[in-house]
Structure 1
Amino acid sequence: MLFTMRVTMLSDWHIGLGQSKGDVDAIVQRDRDGLPYIPGKTLTGILRDSCELAALGLDNGNEKGVWSQWVDFLFGTQPALEEGAIESSPQPAIISLRSAHFPDSLKNALSVNTKVKDAIAFIKPGISIDNDTGCAKTDFLRFEEMIRKGAILDAKDCQINYPADISDDDKKRVEALLLAGAKLTERIGGKRRRGAGKCKIEFLKVKNDNYLDYLSQTPSSPPVYQEINPPVTFQYPEIKESDWYILPLEITAKSPLIINSRTVGNVVETLDYIPGKYILRNLHRKLGQWLNISQAISEESLVITNATVSSKNQPSRPVPFCLFADKLKGGLDKGNVYNRLVEDNPKDLQLKGIRGGYVGEVTHNHLPIYRKVAINVYTHNTIEDELQRPSSDVGGVYSYSAIAPKTTFRAEIRLKSDLFNHLSNQKKEWWKNLEGSYSIGQSKKDDYGTIKVTIAQQPQLHQGKIQLDNNNLSVWLLSDLLLRDKRLNPTADLNILKETLEKTLGVTLEEKQKIIRQRRTESWQVRWGLSRPSLVGIQAGSCIVYEVTEGELDINQLSQIQMSGIGERRVEGYGQMCFNDPLLTMELSKLTPSVTEVDTSNDNVNVNLIKNNDSSFEYARIIEREAWREAIQQQALDLASDRQTRKQYLGLEIQGEESKPPMTQLGALRSVVSKLQSQNDKQQVTNWIKALESVPNRKEKWVGDSLKLIRSLINDERKIWEYLHLPKDLNITHNAETELKMQLWAEAIRTFIDAMIRAHKRDWEKTQ
């Protein structure tokens, strides 16, 4: 069941990043659009806490009551908090809450209005109280970034994945518990016990008017979660042909992706590609009704390649280790690149190996396009229930490195022709069933792991393009290669690779050159939270050159190896390689860099003003008004800094050591102007001017046209805006300029006159 979770912030709020910036000690988290948001982990944690509170009350204080079991059924069990032995396997959560962001209309309007975007936040000073003295600690003044109240944020694509055998009453019971938790959630984020973070949570498309009736009844225990596996009711085809069909996939990261590589301290590192095993699970779900995927794997008739960053709408390949560049002025994006397999090391240059990144196809004139995957770091914490703050006992503070959202990857599903024909007979255009949004990787039930899979083009029959290079065979590993020795131990021994190639190709090989590295990949059991055996093999990007001493190479056999791979776990993308690629066989030092791909996704953004009926209109007007106030203050200070401008607009001047008019009169003017709250109050200022003009000894203190200028400023409502001349990019809502000029007219007058008098006083005091 898909639904949207709406969070309305009723007070100023702070969802911290755990970092400082400049003079600000604590800044808020922002998404890739530069706007504050509420992470899915925060929503999940605060909502679970409220549901546990509701369940504790419904169970009359029994922490192991039946309603508490329903909380575990909804949010999943927590094996890390168990004190004794775990009797049953941990149960995953059936609810998935995504991050809450501002509406698209507000994002679009703020994408080019940076001054209004800056007005979303303000800086709040704070102190710390000494527990012994009860006074503020010395040297402990801090500044925190706060977000203005009134924000409405939507967490879209939230879902509850009900088991197939759950009853309608149990579904209503789950929704009732969820609604009760939302009602009990009053505050969210940092400083919520000191007035910040007051909120209201609603579930759109989740309607259960009688949820109190379901809560008043004691339910039975929740059903046991079971993985849904589609039944297989057909006979698997006999594989006879060796031709391969290729189905290209385009995978777009809709949220940050954590593809677990290893854990260092409290930092979880990610891979910069998506292994084929993450796509395999969805093949079981989407194609399992027509094909026995497990049998296809055992028959070696199905392969899913790793998804690498897209380069000209094609899968990119890991940089081969044979590429070296000038240490100071070289690189695939700069030139001065050397292929150490065919080029000698220049005597006058110091070379450095190009490590990391991916390349596209090479041409005879240009180096291949070089791509690197953007990796961001996100910090989180685990709250201990008793302390209500992060604690190392339950995890404390930790960080995830993740692939940046909107990164596009390319992968291939390879099927033998008999298997492809079988699927086509079962359903025409079966591949369209693979399209859609999925969740993969670590922490995929909240902030991370959402991808969109689309079919780049229809399946095509593979056509081999391998070129023979006399008796040489250049091997480039496109993915990690997993091999085992005679004792079935994991190994990175190149002799095992040579023997495997010789056996498959029917030739005798002699190793001539090699540039390889080994890699150890950690694996993880998500449900239990325990590690799996490490995968040790030869790293992608390794290069080996062989000479054929006996026999002849067969292009068809080489093409088969390129399709199916070598070694273990080939169906998941391991063991992929290519032969005699131009990038390994040609000289590169004279080639020039390719033109880099330019991201034009944010160019020519069509910004529409937010209309009154939009849900984000009220908050947009709040931050828009604050942006106007900031602009009014800035323009007033700029104008007041010039002595000639003060004389031109208000008739203020300094003659010798005297202020004209005197400071007493200016103080009276500032006092009467401070009472100006709207356009209806202008009569108070004009009456004061009339009373002043009726007293000759007071009138003569206002030299020149001072009183005339002030009267004109008050009576002519357009005059102040002509003086301030505010920037044009302050409007994001419909009819904003007209309405805000009316609302802020009195404030603009007060700010303008106050700035003028203060600047005049400072200059006058310098003459004393």
Structure 2
Amino acid sequence: MPLKLNQLLSDVRESRKIKITVIVDTGICIGDSGTSGTPTDKMILRDGAERLVIPASTIKGRLRHECEIIARAKKYVICESPKAENMCPQLNSLSELERKQIETDDTGNCIVCQIFGSPKSPARVMFNDLICEDEFATEMRGGISINRRRRAVEDAKLFRLETSKHGAGIKFSGEIELPDRIHDEHRQLIISGLKRINTLGNRTSAGVGWLRIEYEEVGGRGKAEGERRKGELKTNSEIRNPKSEIRPEYQAVETSQLQIVVTLHSPLAVGGRKPAGRIVEIIPYIPGGLLRGAVAKELLELGAHDDNCNENECDFCTLFLSNEQAIFHNCYPFSGLSRRCRGDTEATNLLDNRTLVLPATAVSCEDNSGFLEYDKNGHPMVDDFNDSHGVFDTLINRLIAEEQLNENNDLPLLYAPNCPVCGGCVEPFQGFYSAVPSWEGLGVGGKYKSENIGTRILSRIPINRSRKVAEEDLLYHLSVLNHVTKSGADALLRNSQATAQTTPLVAKPSPKESPDEVGSGDSIGVFRTRLIGSVTVPKRLAKDLTEVLKHRIHNLGGGSARGLGRVKIDVIPEDNNPQSSTQSAVFKNRLDAFNRKIAEAERKFQALGKTTAIDGTYFTVDLHSDAILYDASGWQPTTILTAEMLQKATNCDAQVELLRSYARYTYCNGWNAAWGMLKETEVITQMGSVFVFKTKNIEAWYEPLRKLELYGIGERRGEGFGQLKICDEFHLRTRDEFIT
């Protein structure tokens, strides 16, 4: 019988690590080609905080090459990298005899692929970027090609190379993480490979990039290899179909909600759609399914589940396979942590300042879109020359206007809002937003701002093992979330909507800063990017899941073996028990405020002409994440939440009517590690969609709607789909009040 989570977690020790220090004896250049407007053809690589960096992919690729040389010298038969068809498990480049002689493990990988991974299996060893924490100047090196026949300078062959300063003794520091699945034979091969590395980067034959590597092994072992389950995620015959997710038996389980803060320590690769070309479309948040998969993988490696377990006694089954399973909500960007959160002590200040999704009914000026900006006294700067003219919601006024038309009134009035600043046209405004906290000395309380994450594009190229140059046709690009962001007084006072691009950085890193603060200036600093989300979990497992999130999850997303996706997760306990009277009162007040605003708008329209009073109580269902919806029969996918679907999802038969829907749709799939195959492609209703309902028996709907808000709607809710909010406060920010 599997162990309980608290027993497993109490027996886990710190994993082994190899701390690496690279001491550069000459100038070094590791980077991409220069861009137009720069005086160099090849620029040295820097991270988002402008620090010199040796990418984890560089050290991993070079170390793999050295380990391949050593393994062949030791008479191991290994695959031929870097082309996928020649690597494990295909081995197209090996003869039949060599394939029989190759020593593989149960995953079908040779000794090198067991360490560094293959197209089929992930790497067991995790590499981190090597960072130069000190500030060093760089220099330009010129070069020229020589015509071999004329023995003179070749025309149009002058080039410039940016390198670190020669003889400065620059040190780059990082680490390699060795999980318990790494045997001593693997460790010895890694150490031997490190000893062979004496150059890195470009133009090493011309004296650039010569270095020394010092290393230190730290950390203890966890459980012995034979005492734990192996780390591969095998197909479980008991895993249910995604369409049999959480059932609406909410009252059966006492739950807690854990608020989580994810801090990025390296760029994060979150896969998305690939519409065209070689670059995958980035998702500007962390999906709940990504966090859920990381937790499940870690628990399986700890031996928390097997195929013969009793589901009623297995904590893993409770968290992931039962009707009581945990719901991992999406994590959205949140800049309010920049200066206020220095750890867990002040993180509780953020419980009421979360990132929310703008509804589909939100609009902004077509020419100057974005939230208003403020002066130093906290007053909005509203003029024709300002970059942002504000954001407001159109739902309530549009709803009343259309309802009056439906009543066949002789009211020649169409609702067509315009910009309240310049009078221009408005257009839908999408994205995330949050409340601006009342920062000391700024007086900007009660305002709103956009929340965005900068993105970067990383280029990578495998190296041909025989020619030691770039392999043809294997260049690829990674679109990643930037792990640093700009913040400070200026960022709070100027909050226009930003496009998805790398945030410009103006401050150099300082070793005296807080670990959360990469660097700072007088009014602008560079801080680590943070995202905020939550997990709804059975109350008896809340403490154990907190331990897993805080102390066991260190990587998310793709490319973790190449230094991407390093994260730190903080957990803030928050009791959101469905039986909480406080939560019930807050929910009812929000719904009442929405209907008071509708009544106010109705009185304004009545002043314009003869109208008919509208009876009933209104409420909205606002999607704060993508939702996978099926019609009332449960078979046909749909993008509209109908009254019948709402009644079925809440187990409430009280009268309700769907009045309006503002919905967008797209498609999604994904990879299921447990099945080892792609997930089914689903039609999804996009986040921000709004559905307006009316009922004459609102008392019967209070509790069902409140529980629906806690648990979500639709399929695959455990992965973050179907998050919603009833009567989002943003709908109260009409054009008349002009949201700021």
Q: TM-score per shorter chain, which class?
A: 0.5 to 0.7
Cα deviation, residue 552, structure 1: 5.3
Distance 1:354 1:205, change over 3 A: same
Distance 2:437 2:453 in 1: 20
TM-superposed deviation, 1:43:
0.4
- For 1:431 and 1:252, how far apart are their aligned partners in 2? 16
What's the TM-score once normalised by structure 1's chain length?
0.63
Q: For residues 163-210 of structure 1, give each alpha carbon's deviation from its aligned partner in whole angstroms, at most 9, with x where no partner exists.
A: 2xx7xxx41x22221122112222111112332211222321279xxx
Distance 2:674 2:40 in 1: 39
Alignment match, 1:123? 140
CA distance in 2, matches of 1:489, 1:329: 44
Q: What is aligned with 2:532?
A: 410
CA distance in 2, matches of 1:156, 1:29: 16
Which residue does 2:465 correspond to in 1? 385
* Residues 538 and 11 of structure 1: CA distance in aligned 2, closer, same or farther (over 3 Å): same
Partner of 1:751: none
In structure 2, the partner of 1:687 is none
What is the SS of the residue equivalent to 1:390?
coil
Listed one character per residue, the Cα deviations across residues 222-262 of structure 1 (whole Å, up to 9, x for unaligned) are: x9964389xxxxxxxx9964554222111111111111112
Instruction: Please point out which of 544, 558, 570 is paired with 2:691.
Output: 544
Deviation at 1:574, TM superposition (A): 0.5
2:541 matched residue in structure 1: 423
Any idea what the Cα deviations from partners look like across 1:371-396, whole Å, max 9, x if unmatched? 11222222222223344333344x22
Q: Deviations over 1:606-628 (max 9, x none)?
A: xxxxxxxxxxxxxxxxxxxxxxx
Residues 311 and 371, structure 1, Cα contact 8 Å, conserved in 2:
yes
1:440 correspondence with 2:556: yes
Give % identity. Answer: 20
Distance 1:577 1:474 in 2: 10
Is residue 13 of structure 2 the alignment partner of residue 17 of structure 1?
A: no
Structure 1 residues 134, 401: CA separation in 2 closer, same or farther (over 3 Å shift)? Answer: farther
Counterpart mapping for 1:314-713 below 5 A: 314-333=353-372, 334-343=388-397, 344-346=415-417, 348-360=423-435, 367-393=447-473, 395-405=474-484, 406-415=528-537, 419-420=538-539, 422-423=540-541, 431-436=546-551, 437-457=553-573, 459-461=575-577, 463-464=583-584, 465-466=586-587, 467-468=591-592, 469=595, 470-485=616-631, 491-494=637-640, 497-503=642-648, 504=650, 505-524=652-671, 532-548=679-695, 553-591=700-738, 593=740
Q: Offset at 1:562? A: 0.6
Deviations 1:91-148 (A, max 9, x none): 3221111100124xx2xxx4xxxxxx4xx21111123455776654312322111112
| Alignment partner of 1:69 out of 110, 126, 131 | 110
Match of 1:156 in 2: 174
Q: Is the contact made by 1:357 and 1:373 (CA closer than 8 Å) also made in structure 2?
A: no
Per-residue CA deviation, residues 671-690 of structure 1 (Å, 9 max, x unaligned), is: xxxxxxxxxxxxxxxxxxxx
1:654-675 deviation per Cα after TM superposition (whole angstroms, max 9, x unaligned)? xxxxxxxxxxxxxxxxxxxxxx
| Gap runs ≥5 in structure 2 | 1-15, 80-97, 220-227, 235-248, 306-312, 337-349, 373-387, 398-414, 439-443, 485-527, 596-615
| Matched position secondary structure for 1:146 | strand
Answer whether contact 1:366 1:591 (CA < 8 A) is retained.
no
Q: 1:531 to 1:15 in 2, by over 3 A?
A: farther
CA contact (8 A) 1:7 1:199 kept: yes
Distance 1:527 1:11 in 2: 48
User: In the aligned structure 1, how far is the partner of 2:269 from the partner of 2:33?
Assistant: 20
In 2, the alpha carbon distance for the partners of 1:239 and 1:528 equals 28
Specify the SS of the correspondent of 2:191: helix
Give the conservation status (yes or no) of the 8 Å contact 1:442–1:526. Answer: no
Quote the Cα distance in structure 2 between the aligned partners of 1:276 and 1:301: 13
Deviation at 1:575, TM superposition (A): 0.4
Per the alignment, residue 289 of structure 2 pairs with 277
CA distance in 1, matches of 2:567, 2:214: 26
RMSD of the alignment, in Å? 3.5
Between the aligned partners of 1:94 and 1:300, the Cα distance in structure 2 is: 32
1: distance between equivalents of 2:639 and 2:146? 63
Query: For 1:20-74, what per-residue CA distance to the aligned partner results, in whole angstroms no more than 9, with x for missing partners?
Result: 3522121111023312110000000000001101111111787665499221211
SS at match of 1:368: strand
8 A Cα contact 2:54 2:172, kept in partner: no
2:494 — aligned with what?
Answer: none
Asked if residue 295 in structure 1 is aligned to residue 318 in structure 2, the reply is yes
Partner of 1:255: 266
Counterpart residue identity of residue 572, structure 1:
E
Amino acid of the structure 2 residue aligned with 1:353: P
Greater share of helix = 1
- For 1:182, what is the secondary structure of its paired residue? helix
Looking at structure 2, the residues matched to 488 and 33 of structure 1 have their Cα atoms a distance apart, in angstroms, of 50
Cα distance, 1:497–1:440 mapped onto 2, change above 3 Å: farther
Taking the aligned partners of 1:430 and 1:304, their CA distance within structure 2 comes to 11
Classify the secondary structure of the residue corresponding to 2:186.
helix
Q: If the length of structure 2 is used for normalisation, what is the TM-score? A: 0.65
> 1:586 Cα deviation (Å)?
4.4
Aligned match for 2:69, one of 36, 49, 53: 53
What SS does the aligned partner of 1:389 have?
Answer: coil
Offset at residue 75 of structure 1 (A): 1.0
Q: Is the partner of 2:396 in helix, strand or coil?
A: coil
The runs of 5 or more residues in structure 1 that have no matched partner are: 80-89, 111-116, 208-222, 230-237, 594-768
Aligned partner letter, 2:115: L
Q: Match of 1:561, SS?
A: helix
Instruction: Trace 1:55-204 onto structure 2 (pairs within 5 A).
Output: 55-59=71-75, 65-66=102-103, 69-77=110-118, 79=119, 90-103=120-133, 106=134, 110=135, 117=136, 120-129=137-146, 135-149=152-166, 150-163=168-181, 170-171=183-184, 173-204=185-216
- The answer to whether the 8 Å contact 2:335/2:530 transfers is no
Please give the per-residue CA displacement for 1:255-284, whole angstroms capped at 9, x wherever unaligned. Answer: 111111123422233211111122224544
1:32 aligns with 2:48: yes
Deviation at 1:432, TM superposition (A): 4.2
Matched letter for residue 317 of structure 1 = L
CA deviation after TM superposition for structure 1 residue 488, in Å: 6.4
Q: Is the 8 A contact 1:341 1:513 kept in 2?
A: no
3-state SS of the aligned residue for 1:438? Answer: coil
- Identify the range of structure 1 (310-319 vs 1-10) with the bigger mean alpha-carbon deviation: 310-319
User: Is 1:249–1:455's contact at 8 Å kept on the other side of the alignment?
Assistant: yes
Aligned to 1:41: 57
Matches within 5 A, 1:205-220: 205=217
Q: Structure 1 residues 12 and 510 mapped into 2: Cα distance closer, same or farther (>3 Å)?
A: same
SS in 2 for 1:138: strand
CA contact (8 A) 1:37 1:101 kept: yes
Matches of 2:679 and 2:148, distance apart in 1: 47
Amino acid at match of 2:23: T
Q: Please give the alpha-carbon distance, in whole angstroms, between the structure 2 residues aligned to 1:193 and 1:535.
A: 53
Q: Who wins on radius of gyration, i.e. which is larger? A: 1
